Amino acid sequence: MDFTVSEEMQTILGMVNEFIDDEVIPLEGEMLHGDSETLASGVAACQAKVRQMELWAPNHPSELGGLGLSLVDHGLLSEALGRSPLGHLVFGTQAPDAGNIEILHTHATDQQRERFLRPLVEGEIRSCFSMTEPNMPGSNPTMMETTAIKDGDDYVINGQKWFTSSADGADFAIVMVVTDPDAPTYQQASMILVPTKTPGFNLVRNVSVMGHSGSGHASHAEILYQDCRVPQSNLLGHEGAGFAIAQERLGPGRVHHCMRWLGIATRSFDMMCDRANQRQISPEGDTLGSRQVIQHWVAESRAQIQGARLMTLHAAWMIDQVGAKAARDEISAIKFTVANTMLDVLDRSIQVHGALGLTDDTILSYWYRHERAGRIYDGADEVHKTSLGRRTLAQRARSVEAKSG
Ligand SMILES: Cc1cc2nc3c(=O)[nH]c(=O)nc-3n(C[C@H](O)[C@H](O)[C@H](O)COP(=O)(O)OP(=O)(O)OC[C@H]3O[C@@H](n4cnc5c(N)ncnc54)[C@H](O)[C@@H]3O)c2cc1C
């Protein structure tokens, strides 16, 4: 395997990193302390510049106007954009839209492409993905209560969802619903496209997370679907294909998240090093960085980040080569390893900043609040460890058995 970054990709990464440093990071103050309208206009101005640079939504397949990147290159880009919480939004590659675009691109009908996919790709609208329910275990989504029942030419949807990220201000939701409770377990659910203006789509609240309800793209909504009626032509793929489509969304999606987390880890690490070099802790001018414990944190963080990056690029390379199904061990391993690496480095960086690290004068506390979730969504640590452990034991048993004849 060869992780040489092509010259073209090096140029793109150079442009992206410079833009994040010069244009996007300065907007973070508005995100942390300003009002949402000023932030929105700042983001829109940056997005316009990104379009002028012809770097809008570079992750999309070339048929959709993107750069048609391999997953490895896409991962490198995601790491660069992840250095600011606004990076992906400014470049049009933000979750959950990026994942929704992938599945719409593969499964949408012509009519759905025109109504939902095209404006989403253009950045004219946002979307959300509505699967998790408060009263059911998200870790086992085959247990789901939300139903869609056929009535005439329509589906009528009823149920309660929460943690539908970015529903606030979204134009439509892709909703996971039970369409046939009597079908085999993994064929009971389907995905349906629901415009958020549809009567019966009720956004109850943006759920408060660690003291902040958030708004717009940075929020997680509770939604009540009450006799929410949409045409049957809004079914995505065929009836019963919900889990199969969800699976497609998750493999590459985990690589995107992991590389974004590495962007967070890298910036937190740089901030930790800068603070350790600058903070004087004695009248003689000793800096924090002169202390061995800090040097060890720096060394451990650097090694952890590099290990996690290579693991993730390897998983991306595997998906590029053999597909997500064959790479599922690698995907499980990066999901819990990188989430914990990111949180370890973030925590050390906060510790090195002392009281400052807890304030909203730096980006660290924002990430601490928002990114703890990385160990829970897209498969909690324990779920990935259980499946990786179980498969590893079975693989070992098969190989011992094969050798012993
Ligand atoms: C910030 C954030 C954003 C999210 N965005 C979205 C979104 O946009 N759309 C959406 O539909 N959902 C979203 N989710 C929901 C997310 O997918 C679920 O939280 C996740 O699937 C876990 O489900 P749960 O919260 O119901 O926890 P549960 O399934 O109740 O699990 C709770 C805990 O139990 C443990 N556990 C569970 N199963 C096992 C097991 N088999 N073995 C051992 N331990 C286990 C784990 O520690 C787990 O954290 C989001 C969540 C967060 C926090």
Confirm if 157 and 175 have CB atoms less than 8 A apart.
yes
pLDDT score at 255: 93
pLDDT score at 3: 84
> Quick one: 250 and 285 in the same domain?
yes
Q: What is the mean pLDDT of residues 231-248?
A: 96
- Matching residue, tokens 């997370």: 209
Q: How long a stretch of residues is the chain? A: 405
Q: Is the CB of 260 under 6 A from ligand 1?
A: no
> Quick one: 173 and 257 in the same domain?
no
Q: Is the CB of 100 under 6 A from ligand 1?
A: no
Q: Is the CB of 250 under 6 A from ligand 1?
A: no
CA dihedral defined by 329, 330, 336, 342, rounded to 10 degrees? Answer: 180
> Quick one: 272 and 358 in the same domain?
yes
Q: CB count, 10 Å around CB of 360? A: 13
Q: What is the pLDDT of residues 245-280, one digit of tens each?
A: 998 878 888 999 999 999 999 999 999 999 999 999
- 204 belongs to a structural domain: yes
Cis amide leading into 199 (omega within 30)? no
Q: Which residues pair with 191 in a beta bridge?
A: 176, 236
Q: Is the CB of 178 under 6 A from ligand 1?
A: no
Between CA 308 and CA 147 the distance in angstroms is 40
pLDDT score at 304: 98
> Quick one: 199 and 295 in the same domain?
no
- 120 belongs to a structural domain: no
| 397 pLDDT tier (thresholds 50, 70, 90) | very high
pTM as predicted: 0.96
> Quick one: 86 and 144 in the same domain?
no
- 40 belongs to a structural domain: yes
> Quick one: 103 and 42 in the same domain?
yes
- 46 belongs to a structural domain: yes
- 335 belongs to a structural domain: yes
What residues have CB less than 8 Å from 292, skipping those under 6 apart? none
pLDDT score at 260: 97
Confirm if 301 and 345 have CB atoms less than 8 A apart.
yes
Collapsing DSSP to helix, strand or coil, 239 comes out as coil
The helix (run of H) or strand (run of E) holding residue 402 is helix 381-403
Q: What is the pLDDT of residues 33-87, one digit of tens each?
A: 988 889 999 999 999 999 999 999 988 888 888 888 999 999 999 999 999 999 9
* Buried/exposed code over 108-147 (b: 16+ C-beta within 10 A; e: otherwise): beeebbebbbeebbebebbbbbbbbbeebebeebeebebb
Choose one of 194, 218, 236: the last residue of a domain. Answer: 236
The CA 260 to ligand 1 mean position distance, Å, reads: 19
244 or 1, which is more confident? 244
Q: What is the mean pLDDT of residues 360-385?
A: 97
Closest-CA residue, ligand 1 atom 51, reads 377
Number of independent structural domains in the chain: 3
> Quick one: 191 and 315 in the same domain?
no
| 157 pLDDT tier (thresholds 50, 70, 90) | very high
Residue 238: both structure tokens together: 């065929």
What residues have CB less than 8 Å from 61, skipping those under 6 apart? 68, 105
User: How does strand 172-178 pair with strand 214-215?
Assistant: unpaired
Question: For position 338, which CATH number holds?
Answer: 1.20.140.10
What is the overall mean pLDDT for the chain? 96
pLDDT score at 61: 85
> Quick one: 232 and 310 in the same domain?
no
Q: Is the CB of 377 under 6 A from ligand 1?
A: yes
Q: What is the mean pLDDT of residues 218-238?
A: 98
Q: What is the pLDDT of residues 362-374, one digit of tens each?
A: 999 999 999 999 9
Choose one of 108, 136, 162: the last residue of a domain. Answer: 108
- 394 belongs to a structural domain: yes
Q: Ligand 1: which of 94, 136, 162, 163 to mutate, judged by most atoms within 8 Å of the beta carbon?
A: 163
User: What's the one-letter identity of residue 202?
Assistant: N
> Quick one: 62 and 151 in the same domain?
no
> Quick one: 336 and 258 in the same domain?
yes
Question: For position 220, which CATH number holds?
Answer: 2.40.110.10
User: What's the one-letter identity of residue 156?
Assistant: V
> Quick one: 396 and 293 in the same domain?
yes
In 3D space, the residue among 208, 120, 195 whose CA is nearest the CA of residue 162 turns out to be: 208
User: Is residue 405 predicted with pLDDT exceeding 80?
Assistant: no
What residues have CB less than 8 Å from 260, skipping those under 6 apart? 78, 79, 81, 82, 88
- 2 belongs to a structural domain: no
Per the structure, the complete domain to which residue 139 belongs is given by: 127-236
Question: For position 25, which CATH number holds?
Answer: 1.10.540.10
> Quick one: 248 and 231 in the same domain?
no
* Buried/exposed code over 222-261 (b: 16+ C-beta within 10 A; e: otherwise): bbebeebbbeeebbbbebbbbbebbebbbbbbbbbbbbbb
Query: Phi/psi of residue 401, each to 5°?
Result: -65, -40
pLDDT score at 89: 95
In 3D space, the residue among 311, 398, 353 whose CA is nearest the CA of residue 3 turns out to be: 311
Q: Is the CB of 159 under 6 A from ligand 1?
A: no
Q: Is the CB of 382 under 6 A from ligand 1?
A: yes
User: Is residue 28 predicted with pLDDT exceeding 90?
Assistant: yes
Max intra-chain CA distance, the chain = 81
| 2 pLDDT tier (thresholds 50, 70, 90) | confident
Closest-CA residue, ligand 1 atom 14, reads 163
The CA 231 to ligand 1 mean position distance, Å, reads: 30
The helix (run of H) or strand (run of E) holding residue 172 is strand 172-178
The CA 302 to ligand 1 mean position distance, Å, reads: 29
Closest-CA residue, ligand 1 atom 7, reads 164
